[in-house]
Structure 1
Amino acid sequence: MIKDNDSVNVSVKAYFLIGFYFISPCLFSQNQKVADSLIAVFQTQQLELNQKFEVLRGIAANHINPDIGLQYANKLISLSEKEEEFVWLYRGYLQQGNAYKLKGNLSLAVESFFKSLKAAQRADYTPGIGGAYLSVGDTYANNNDHENGIKYRNRAIEILRTTEDSVTLATALLNTGYEYYLIDGYDSALAFYKESGRIFENKDFVIGKAYNLGNSGLVYAKQGDNKLAESQIREAISILESFEDSYAITEFEIEMASIYQQKSELREALKYAESAMELALKDGLKKRIRDASLKLSELHADLGDFEKAFSYQSQYIAYRDSINNEETIRKMADLRTEYEVSQKQAEVDLLNEQKRNQQLIGAGLTAVLLLAGALAFTFYRNNKEKQRVNLILSEQKEEIEAQRDQLDELNKSKDKFFSIISHDLRGPVHAFKGMSRLIKMYIDQNSIHELAEINEHFDNSVDQLSTLLDDLLEWAVAQQGNVPYNPEKVKLNAVADELIGLFNNMARAKKIELIAEVPDDLMLWADLNSIRTILRNLLNNALKFTPEGGWIKLSAARAGERGEVKVEDTGIGIARDKLETLFKLAGHKRSWGTEGEKGLGLGLQLVYEFSKMNGGEVRVESEEGKGTSFTLVVPVYRGEPVPSAQT
């Protein structure tokens, strides 16, 4: 810290003598010592306007605490707006976006970066336009939207190649290489690092060289060259420690933990992972806390400390969901759409202006043509040109409207798909809950033998949950937001055995008898994933609303060209007034099971929709206090595809 006015004067003179070196928007290079000195300068010295701009940006860019960095970025924005200095306004919004990004708020970050882009365009500041595109691309990449990450970064590279700012160009190359690393394009990543490394070396840009070393090390680790990877990452960490650059150090330490994990040197790996976690928690770096939590969970599992492994896994899930939640994704998509549509609108406005100009010119030419008489052909050609412009405007308007409708439809499909995933995960989690209750009961009874037996059931439940997650992931990758329908020959007996195994622990915990009576030769023609979802929801509901000592029966029989699958229980039943709206997702339908289990009504809506999708139907019979019977009717397998009734 600076302790007196003389040292403050020395610092400020040195700072402005050297000049504020540009910190690329995506390197996130930070130096707390520089930030502390500049804060002292700002608070104690009388600065000229341009010096205030430089110092505010320097503090925002170098402070390792994103909340403090955000405060000074906002001061820079306010001062720039007041003085109508649009280059500095671009820089203020850029640092604001960097702070939000460090805090894990990616939707606010991308909003700030688009504002910085508009400010740079207003100032006609080409390096700033390239830097803003680079930051937008980096933010989409951090949200796993690699398509838009590469798109905006390549746009930045095209612009920056036309400028004298070789450091920012090198940064764009570095970050584009990192994007290819994230999607396993390792050869492309190394090609970009090679070009950026030459520029950083020629400019002797120490921060850039450190990042280039570390990122190259990440690629070599993925390619299996752990010796070279470890050497380069160690050197990068050593350089960055002098700058107190926690954002980069934590990533590289996590990768070092992975390298030692592969070498089975788990204690050394644990040291790196714990160091990364401590630094990330200290500086509030959500993304790094998430990654360090996952790595620590893996390492403690390898060491056999499953309690700590589970704790860190829970922490990883909490931070992952807070960063990559549906609202963030939708906001970022909306911001991107808003910007692209505004660009299209600008083109339309330009064409409208051209049309008005042409109309004025046409009017003047008409008068001349009427007087001259001999220039009628020119008038005709001008009229044709106006028709062409009108056609272009009409086509672009239709294109914009089509893009808007397509985005609306994609958002609706995405919302529905996330709802399906959330609901399908509830059943396996309830199975774990049932197993937890059994463990508690056996502990109270001091039944060590039964506790040992639970281990096998626990493994089965984990395998089944893993299978469910794999199914959901395949749906997401294959359909990109649409609910899939892929009919095939389904052996119902195998599906029944799988589901009875999934809910066995939960049933045992409630002392409920699970019965399955499904013929071995009954084959359905249906979508396997949706049939699993239907029966999983019906069994889960039956378990929820059946009291202790009851029974649940899954049975099936062939009825002509249809198969009838029944789920019966001795539960509390359904009131008559609720039967009419049972399969409609509307109003407040929250209900509670016999032991307080929460239900939202989404499961039965999925049962209804998926039965229709498979060309069948679902029926229900119930009497309060006596139980409920659901009957699923779907086509049987006849040796050839059955026409789908999907809507």
Structure 2
Amino acid sequence: MGAIYANNNDHRKGIKYRRQAIEILRQTKDSITLAAALMNTGYGYYLIEKYDSALYLYEESGEIYSKKNFEIGKAYNLGNAGLVYAKQGKTLEAEEQLTEAIEILKELEDSYAITEFEIEMANIYEQRGEKQKAEKYLLGALAYAQEDGLKERIRDASLQLSELYSSEQEFEKAYEYLQNYLVYRDSINNEETIRKMADLRTEFEVGQKQAEVDLLEEEAFAHRVLLWSGALIGGLLLGVIVLLHRFYLMKVRTARIAKARRQVIQGQRDELDHLNATKDRFFSIISHDLRGPVSNFNGVTYLIQRSIEEGDQEELKSMGIMLEESAQDLSSLLDNLLDWAMSQQGTFPYKPQSINIAEICNPALRVFKNTAKAKSIEIDDHVTSDLQVYVDVNSTSTIIRNLLNNALKFTAEGGSVSLNIEMQEKFAVIHVSDTGIGIPQDKLERLFVFKGVKTSYGTQGEKGVGLGLNLVKEFVDLNKGKIKVESEEGKGSRFSVFLPLAKS
């Protein structure tokens, strides 16, 4: 809870929950976790400028890390204390703490923290007028940041180098680093723009809902007006018998007009209902397809935690690369899903094209690679095929992702999941097989029927909404294909998707 509030920049609530965690951890023997909670709480105090409180907590966490010889924790603790001393203007203490932290982190090859601490060292030397030392630390921080693709640190180091060289009247170097700063600043801003576009999409959908409500209110008002008119006409008919025939004709005419208007309103409402249903399906698809990549992140975090506990630094570096790849896959998937959803005009878009089937399968396999690793499940990470299919890429990708997600979800640790491709007559056939729990015979006949929201759980409690296989069947039909299922309870399942080959 404390981390969630801190990540949303509500540091005061983050501190509140972390202090509660500290009190609980003091009753346990888990001193390393206690030290981490103390250090993170101290960093929260640093961010809200309560420096004495931050140093008090750093002192206690530092003693624990030193006693346990936990070098990475000790380095972070020293560096964070150095940041506080720098804010207090105690540059000698800050320099001592930051220097020791950087030396430890270089041995551990933790470039993320090194860049932050070296940039702060450069600030200290700039304040003293020692420009050469400041330049050395800024160039070192920039090199580490460029090596690991840390965009924000590249941006900050480039800006400080530009300002440093400008103050020394080395304008060519100042201009070079200013250009580098602008490139990375714009790149980071573009990522913010993508997030804002997603927010605008949500606002647009809320506006559509409001328009539907307004239309229903107008319809209700029209019905009330019609009833009032009828009552008035009835009263006039009773009061003025002589004009009965005329009023009768007026009533018939009014009824015809009202009926015609109701038909128009009904048609508009039906169209809105259809558009709204399609929109809801798109949100369901997007939510369902994001489960795989998010689960992939959970798998990586589990492996990172295990590597930290085992002190396996090489595995941690590997996990860092996996996190970057997973983030790129998730970003690509989000872009594709949002572009796809925004292109719909009341129906699911179907834009078939000729494409190699492996180009659809391999991205899906990468998305679930870390989820499989976290469950110790063997899975292909790459398939090759020269078969060209004629399909809609987005809906076909959804088919593959859903089948792989289900296979992993219902396969226990130590099992295996495979994806194979072959040709049968005029179809490319994708086989997704697993050694999971299988499907009871009585459920096979209604496997692809979705009747309201239903929750199913995997071998490790993974939650689903029962939407995936319904979408698979719908999208297989959309792409003029077919699907077959073979399963035996307790021995696993095999889903075979037949997709039409492209005409040569």
Shorter-chain TM-score category? 0.5 to 0.7
User: Structure 1, unaligned stretches of length 5 or more?
Assistant: 1-262, 268-297, 303-308, 368-378, 640-647
The alignment status of 1:414 with 2:283, answered yes or no, reads: no
What is the CA-CA distance between 1:567 and the residue it aligns to?
A: 0.4
What is the CA-CA distance between 1:505 and the residue it aligns to?
A: 1.4
Structure 2 CA distance for partners of 1:491 and 1:355, relative to 1, 3 Å = farther
The alignment status of 1:619 with 2:497, answered yes or no, reads: no
What is the CA-CA distance between 1:519 and the residue it aligns to?
A: 4.7
Q: 2:405 — aligned with what?
A: 540
Contact 1:496 1:516 in 2 (8 A): no
Q: 2:217 — aligned with what?
A: 339
Superposed CA deviations along residues 571-601 of structure 1, whole A, max 9, x for unmatched, are 2222222222222223785332222222332
Tell me the TM-score normalized by structure 1: 0.43
- Residue 343 of structure 2 aligns to a residue whose secondary structure is helix
Q: How does 1:86-101 map to 2 (within 5 A)?
A: none
Write the letter of the residue equivalent to 1:537: N
Contact 1:517 1:555 in 2 (8 A): no
Q: How does 1:459-474 map to 2 (within 5 A)?
A: 459-474=324-339
Contact 2:473 2:483 in 1 (8 A): yes
Q: Which of residues 312, 317, 342 is equivalent to 1:477?
A: 342
- Residue 459 of structure 2 aligns to a residue whose secondary structure is coil
Superposed CA deviations along residues 61-92 of structure 1, whole A, max 9, x for unmatched, are xxxxxxxxxxxxxxxxxxxxxxxxxxxxxxxx
The alignment status of 1:561 with 2:426, answered yes or no, reads: yes
Contact 1:542 1:571 in 2 (8 A): yes
Distance 2:472 2:232 in 1: 57
Q: How does 1:364-513 map to 2 (within 5 A)?
A: 364=242, 389-479=254-344, 482-513=347-378
Contact 2:427 2:498 in 1 (8 A): yes
Contact 2:432 2:494 in 1 (8 A): yes
Distance 1:350 1:264 in 2: 70
Q: 1:86 — aligned with what?
A: none
What is the CA-CA distance between 1:531 and the residue it aligns to?
A: 0.7
Superposed CA deviations along residues 481-514 of structure 1, whole A, max 9, x for unmatched, are 5322222223211112211211111122222222
Distance 1:480 1:420 in 2: 16
Distance 2:157 2:210 in 1: 41
Q: How does 1:273-288 map to 2 (within 5 A)?
A: none
Distance 2:450 2:204 in 1: 23
Write the letter of the residue equivalent to 1:581: R
Structure 2 CA distance for partners of 1:514 and 1:401, relative to 1, 3 Å = same
Contact 2:340 2:394 in 1 (8 A): no
What is the CA-CA distance between 1:431 and the residue it aligns to?
A: 0.6
Structure 2 CA distance for partners of 1:348 and 1:588, relative to 1, 3 Å = closer
Q: How does 1:306-345 map to 2 (within 5 A)?
A: 332-333=210-211, 335-345=213-223
Contact 1:519 1:557 in 2 (8 A): no
Distance 1:442 1:479 in 2: 44
Contact 1:516 1:555 in 2 (8 A): no
User: Structure 2, unaligned stretches of length 5 or more?
Assistant: 1-154, 160-183
Distance 2:261 2:465 in 1: 44
Structure 2 CA distance for partners of 1:351 and 1:479, relative to 1, 3 Å = farther
Write the letter of the residue equivalent to 1:526: V
What is the CA-CA distance between 1:517 and the residue it aligns to?
A: 7.3
Structure 2 CA distance for partners of 1:331 and 1:387, relative to 1, 3 Å = closer
Structure 2 CA distance for partners of 1:325 and 1:501, relative to 1, 3 Å = same
What is the CA-CA distance between 1:465 and the residue it aligns to?
A: 0.9
Contact 1:417 1:482 in 2 (8 A): no
- Residue 573 of structure 1 aligns to a residue whose secondary structure is coil
Distance 2:220 2:410 in 1: 53
The alignment status of 1:551 with 2:409, answered yes or no, reads: no
- Residue 380 of structure 2 aligns to a residue whose secondary structure is strand
What is the CA-CA distance between 1:476 and the residue it aligns to?
A: 2.7
Distance 2:244 2:314 in 1: 102
Distance 1:340 1:497 in 2: 51
What is the CA-CA distance between 1:425 and the residue it aligns to?
A: 1.1
Distance 2:238 2:362 in 1: 79
Superposed CA deviations along residues 323-375 of structure 1, whole A, max 9, x for unmatched, are 9798x7787455312322134335545765786699799964699xxxxxxxx
Tell me the TM-score normalized by structure 2: 0.54
What is the CA-CA distance between 1:383 and the residue it aligns to?
A: 9.1
- Residue 572 of structure 1 aligns to a residue whose secondary structure is coil
Structure 2 CA distance for partners of 1:362 and 1:406, relative to 1, 3 Å = farther
Q: How does 1:127-146 map to 2 (within 5 A)?
A: none
What is the CA-CA distance between 1:424 and the residue it aligns to?
A: 1.2
Contact 2:436 2:493 in 1 (8 A): yes
Structure 2 CA distance for partners of 1:353 and 1:361, relative to 1, 3 Å = same
Q: CA RMSD in A?
A: 4.0
Superposed CA deviations along residues 192-227 of structure 1, whole A, max 9, x for unmatched, are xxxxxxxxxxxxxxxxxxxxxxxxxxxxxxxxxxxx
Structure 2 CA distance for partners of 1:396 and 1:264, relative to 1, 3 Å = farther
Q: How does 1:142-291 map to 2 (within 5 A)?
A: none
Contact 2:377 2:416 in 1 (8 A): yes
- Residue 607 of structure 1 aligns to a residue whose secondary structure is helix
Distance 2:326 2:220 in 1: 51
Distance 2:306 2:485 in 1: 35
Distance 2:324 2:303 in 1: 15
Contact 1:423 1:603 in 2 (8 A): yes
Superposed CA deviations along residues 11-30 of structure 1, whole A, max 9, x for unmatched, are xxxxxxxxxxxxxxxxxxxx
Write the letter of the residue equivalent to 2:462: E
What is the CA-CA distance between 1:429 and the residue it aligns to?
A: 0.5
The alignment status of 1:605 with 2:477, answered yes or no, reads: no
Distance 1:451 1:517 in 2: 23
